[in-house]
Amino acid sequence: MSQRFGEEGRELSYGAYLKVPELLQLQQGLSREHDELLFIVAHQVYELWFKVVLFELEATRDRIDADDVFFARHHLHRVYVIEKLLVE
């Protein structure tokens, strides 16, 4: 028996899990400029990374509140790596 994911025994594909079709519909430009797609995609990606940064900072706060310095440092390191990626 193979492992099943998703609803009603259907296997969950990469595209379905990440909602790729919906994601690729979010780049709706307002002009016919060639570079607009690049602008939209680049900025949407930054916004997604900022969402992860906030998620990791909240986790850091929660770990500090729980006196769990090891995992607090782990979450802060993720923020550092993401910020490094964003400025390269």
Give me the residue spans of the domains in the chain.
7-87
Confidence of residue 60 (pLDDT cuts 50, 70, 90): very high
- pLDDT for 18-27, tens place per residue? 999 999 999 9
SS3 category, 36:
helix
Eight-class DSSP state of 35: T
Share of the chain above pLDDT 70, in %: 90
Confidence of residue 11 (pLDDT cuts 50, 70, 90): confident
pLDDT top residue among 55 and 8: 55
Contacts of 72 (CB under 8 A, 6+ apart): 60, 63, 64
User: How far apart, in whole angstroms, are the C-alpha atoms of residue 56 and residue 25?
Assistant: 27
Angle between helical axes of 36-65 and 69-87 (0-180°, round to 10): 160
